[in-house]
Amino acid sequence: MIQSRPAWSSLDDDAVRISRALAMDAVQKVGNGHPGTAMSLAPVAYTLFQRVLKHDPINPNWIARDRFILSCGHSSLTLYIQLFLSGYGVELSDLQNFRTFNAATPGHPEYGHTVGVETTTGPLGQGVANAVGMAMAARYEKGLLDPDNKTDIFDHNIWVICSDGDLQEGVSAEASSLAGLQELGNLKVIYDDNRISIEGDTHVAFNENVSDRYRSYGWHVIEVDTQSNGDVDREKLESAMDQALTEKIKPVLIRLHSVIAWPAPKAQGTAESHGSALGAQEVAATKRVLGLNPDESFAVSEAIIEHTRKVKVRGAGAYHAWDAKFKQWQIDNPIQNALLERISKKKLPKDWAATFPQFSTEKDIATRAASGLVIQEIAKALPEFWGGSADLAGSNNTTIAGGGSFLPATSSMKDANPYGRVIHFGIREHAMGAILNGIALHGMAKPYAGTFLVFSDYMRGAVRLSALMKLPVTYVWSHDSIGLGEDGPTHQPVEHLAALRAIPGLSIVRPADANEVSIAWREIITRALPVGLALSRQNLPVVDRKKYNSAEGVAKGAYVLFDTSPEFSVILIATGSEVYLALQAQDQLLSSGVNSRVVSAPCLEWFTEQSPDYQESVLPKTVKARVSIEAGVAMPWYKIIGDAGVAVALEHFGASADAKRLFREYGFTPENIVACAMESIKKTQLKD
C-alpha cells in the first residue's frame, strides 16, 4: 500500500535547488570530487528520502526500514546532502569539510562511519550486488520471523541508485541475473542513464539496450525520459517509483534518462563535470540559472531546514505505528521474538558449539569434508547461519542437509523453498562475495559461501570490501594447494594465500587437520569478522592429540604442536596439509640427534593479535633457526623466519599430476624439510 504524501510545494523546489548548489559548493571548496551526478540526481534522491522511503532518522537502525544504497559511490554528495536535509546527523559543516581527514563526509560513503550509510560503495557494481544480498536476506529473515506471512511488519524494500559504470561492471550483471531468477520483488533500482563517464560519451564502450537486458533477466523495467529542458522529470519519476512499489514479484529497474550537471550552462552533459570541480565562474553562473545568489556558498535557509526535517516527524509516526504492531507480534510469537532478540544483540545460544564433531585418528579426512560436517552442526544451532556455493557445493561441502534450496515459491526446482538455507549462486564468484556482504549488512544473518581457492581471484573486490566493513562473512575456499592434483596449474593456487593475507582485516585460516577445522569454525562464528577458510581436497591424517598438543591452540592463530625437548635448536612452522610433513620431519631430525619444535600456524592474523608474551612463548627470539612449510609463495613468511630462516615454498605454478607426485617433485617431503632445517641451523652458527 502506497502511503499518502503531502503535496509537492515551492519549498520542495527550493530544497532541490539548494541540493544542487550544495553539491557544487562542497566540491568547489575542497577542489576535487564529483559534482555533476549529484547535481542531476538531486530531485531523485530528494524524492526518495522525503516522499518514498520508509525510514526514520531518529531510529536509523529500525529493522523494518527501507534500505537505500548509492551504488555510484563517487556521487556521495547525492546521499550526504539528503542525510543533512533529513536530519541524520550530517551537518552543514560536514558538507563544508567534504573529502577531508576524519570528516563525516568522505569521498565515498563508508559503512560504520556515517549514520545513514548502509554500505561502503565506490568500486562500481558492488552496491547493486550488495542490494541483491539485502533483498535475499530480507526474504530469508522473513522466513525466520514470520514464515506463515501473518504480518507485514518485517516487509520492506531495498532501493538503489546506480550509474552507467555500475551496469558496465560484470559483478552487477551476475547479481542482477540472480535477482531476476530469485524474483526479488523487494528490490528497486534507479539507473541514472546520463551517458557520461570519465572518458566521455559511454557509447564509446557501452551501447547495449540495458532495458532489454534487464527484461531478459526477469526484471520489470520502467523508462523515464527527461523533460524538454533536460532536467529530470520528477513527477514521472515519482509515478514510476509508485509503480515500482506495486510490483511484488519482479525486481524493478527504473531507467532514468538524465543530463549530468544540469543546469550548469557550460558543464552540463560533459565528461569534465563527472569528476572535477566546476570552477567558480561556472558555479556562479549555475546559481543564477537556479535563481540563487551567486555570491553565497553553503546557503540554506531555516525555512528549508524546517521543511525537510519534517521527514523526521513522518518517520517517527511510521515507526510508532509499526512499533505498536511489533509489540503485539512479540506477545503472539514468543519463540520467534526470542530468536530476534538474540540475533539483534549479536549473541550466541548457550553451548551452541557443544555438538561439534571430534575426529579420531582412525581415518584420514580432507579438511573440506571435516568443514562440511561442522557446518551441519552450526546450522542446527544457529538458524541465522545460511549460505551456499558458486556451483561447487559437492566439492566445497557447503550444503546444509535438509535446508532446502533458497528459491522463489514459483520455482519448479527440486527442494525449492523461498526461505531455504542453501543458496545456489551459480558460477558467479564476484557477485557471490558482494551478495554475502549485502546479507551481512542487512543485519540478522551469518552468511558463508564456497568456491575453489584459486577462484578467490574472481571475487577479490568483494572480499576486500568484506574486510573494509568488518563484516561477519565466511569464505569457504577448498582445493587449497597443488594437493588438488590432476586439474593442474589453472586450478592450483600458489600465490593466493599470500595475496589474501595482504588484505588488512581479513583472516586466512588454513587448518592442519579435521580437529583444527572444528576449532576454527567455532572461532570464526564467535569472532563475527571476515574470514577465508583454506581447505584441502586431499585426505589428511588426523593429528594424534594424545601425543601432540590440543587443537584448541587454533583459537590463538598459532601454537606449539610438539617439542622433542625443552632445549630445541630449530622451529618448524607449517600450515594446512604441510603440518603433518613437519611432524614427520621432526621425527627424522630427532633420530639424527636434533631437537626441534613444530608449530601449527593456521591463522597468522589471529596470531599477531596475541600478546607479545604469548607470541614469544611460541616463537622465542632466541631460536633463530626456523623453517616455514607451506605449499605457496613464501612472501608472508620472511618476517616470521628472519634472515636465518629457510622457506619450503612454491615460487612457480604447479602441474597436472597426482598430489603425492607433486609434493615430492616440489620439495614438500620430510627429507627436504630436514635438509632445510639443517641449513637454517648452519646459518645461525655462521652468524654466531
Place of cell 550530517: 90
Cβ(475)–Cβ(520) below 8 Å: no
Specify whether 560 is located in the same domain as 653: yes
Residues 6+ apart with CB under 8 A from 546: none
Peptide bond into 670 cis (omega under 30): no
Please check whether residue 244 lies inside any domain of the structure. yes
- Name the β-bridge partners of 201: 196
CATH code: domain of residue 468: 3.40.50.970
Would the pLDDT of 628 be above 90?
yes
Single-letter residue type at 478: S
Q: How far is CA 457 from the centre of its chain?
A: 15
Q: How many domains does the chain have?
A: 3
Q: What average pLDDT does this structure show over 229-256?
A: 98
Please check whether residue 362 lies inside any domain of the structure. no
Please check whether residue 590 lies inside any domain of the structure. yes
The pLDDT tens digits for 30-82 are 999 999 999 999 999 999 999 999 999 999 999 999 999 999 999 999 999 99
Q: How many CB atoms lie within 10 A of CB 563?
A: 16
Specify whether 496 is located in the same domain as 563: no
Cβ(273)–Cβ(211) below 8 Å: no
Which of 501, 534, 567 is the last residue before a domain boundary?
A: 534
Which of 256, 286, 317 is the last residue before a domain boundary?
A: 317
CATH code: domain of residue 586: 3.40.50.920
What are the E-state strand segments in 498-585? 507-509, 531-534, 559-563, 570-574
SS (H, E, C) 381-399: HCCCEEEEECCCHHHHCCC
Please check whether residue 337 lies inside any domain of the structure. no
Confidence band for 686, pLDDT divided at 50, 70 and 90? confident
Radius of gyration of the chain (CA): 28
Taking alpha carbons only, the member of 179, 69, 190 closest to residue 120 is 69
Question: How confident is the model at residue 687, as a pLDDT?
Answer: 74
Place of cell 523515464: 224
Specify whether 81 is located in the same domain as 221: yes
Can you tell me the distance from the alpha carbon of 396 to that of 436, in angstroms, rounded to the nearest whole number?
A: 16
Please check whether residue 589 lies inside any domain of the structure. yes
Specify whether 210 is located in the same domain as 184: yes
Please check whether residue 456 lies inside any domain of the structure. yes
The pLDDT tens digits for 486-519 are 999 999 999 999 999 999 999 999 999 999 999 9
Q: What residues are annotated to the active site?
A: 429
Would the pLDDT of 688 be above 80?
no
Give the range of the structural domain holding residue 121, as residue numbers without chain letter.
10-317
Specify whether 582 is located in the same domain as 633: yes
Question: How confident is the model at residue 3, as a pLDDT?
Answer: 72
- Name the β-bridge partners of 388: 423, 449
The pLDDT tens digits for 131-189 are 999 999 999 999 999 999 999 999 999 999 999 999 999 999 999 999 999 999 999 99
Place of cell 573494509: 468
Specify whether 453 is located in the same domain as 495: yes
Q: What average pLDDT does this structure show over 314-339?
A: 98
Please check whether residue 58 lies inside any domain of the structure. yes
Question: How confident is the model at residue 1, as a pLDDT?
Answer: 59
Q: What average pLDDT does this structure show over 554-567?
A: 98
As a whole number of Å, the end-to-end CA separation of the chain is: 81
Specify whether 172 is located in the same domain as 62: yes
Instruction: For residue 447, give the H/E element and its range.
Output: strand 446-452
Q: How many CB atoms lie within 10 A of CB 327?
A: 11
Its pTM stands at: 0.98
Confidence band for 611, pLDDT divided at 50, 70 and 90? very high
Specify whether 99 is located in the same domain as 214: yes
Specify whether 555 is located in the same domain as 530: no
**Average pLDDT of the chain, as a whole number:** 97
Can you tell me the distance from the alpha carbon of 485 to that of 482, in angstroms, rounded to the nearest whole number?
A: 6
